[in-house]
Amino acid sequence: MRRLKVVLSLVLQVLAMLLPNTFKRILFGLVFGWAIGKGAKIGYSIILCTKVRIGSNSRIGHLNIFRDLKTLEIGNETKILNLNHFMASKEKEWPDAFSIGNNSQITSRHFFDCSGGIRIGDRCLIGGRDSQCWTHFFDSRDGISRIEWSNWRLLTDATSEQEQRFCTAKYRRILLWAPAQL
C-alpha cells in the first residue's frame, strides 16, 4: 500500500510540474494536505514527505529531492536552490525531519541526511557546493544525532569539532560562521 501511495504521489507531482504555482499550491494542499504559503514557488522537484509546511514567498528550485522525510518545514522567504538531496532512513523510531527557518537559503548541490533531524534557524545561509551533512554513522549501533544551526549563520568553514564531524565538503569551504557569537 505504501509503495502504491509513493508511485501515485510521484505521478501527480510530475504532472503538476506543468501547472502554475498557484494551482500547484491548491492541488498539493487538497490531495496531500500540505500547508503551502501564499507566493511560495515549487520548481521541478520531488517531495516525498508525510507532513509538509512551506512558508509564504518561499522557493524550492529545480531538481531537488526530498525523500522519506516524516516532516519538512520551510520558513517564510526561504530559498532552496537547485540539485539538493534531502533523505531520511526508513527506521520508524528516528525523527526523519528537516526544518529551515525564515529568510534562510541553501545554495545548490548539497546532500542532507535527515534521519536524526536537521534544524536550521532563521537567516542562515548554506553556501558553496557539494557539502554533505550526516546525522548517523556507518555503524548504526553508534546511533543518530541531531544537527542544529542557530540563527544568523553562514556555512563557510568548520568552526567546531562536532560540526567538522558531521559536515564534510568536497572543497572544504562549508561550515558555520556566526557573527553574533564571534
pLDDT in tens, the chain (182 residues): 678 888 888 899 999 998 999 999 999 999 999 999 999 999 999 999 999 999 999 999 999 999 999 999 999 999 999 999 999 887 777 788 999 999 999 999 999 988 888 888 888 888 888 888 887 655 444 555 556 666 555 554 444 444 444 444 333 333 333 333 22
Phi-psi region of 171 (alpha: psi -120 to 50; beta: other; left: phi over 0): alpha
Angle between helix 21-32 and helix 2-16 axes, rounded to 10 deg: 160
pLDDT number for residue 105: 93
Whether domain 2-181 has CATH 2.160.10? yes
pLDDT number for residue 177: 36
pLDDT number for residue 181: 29
Domain boundaries, the chain: 2-181
- Is the pTM higher than 0.95? The answer reads no
Q: How far is CA 155 from CA 21, 80, 102, in A?
A: 30, 14, 16
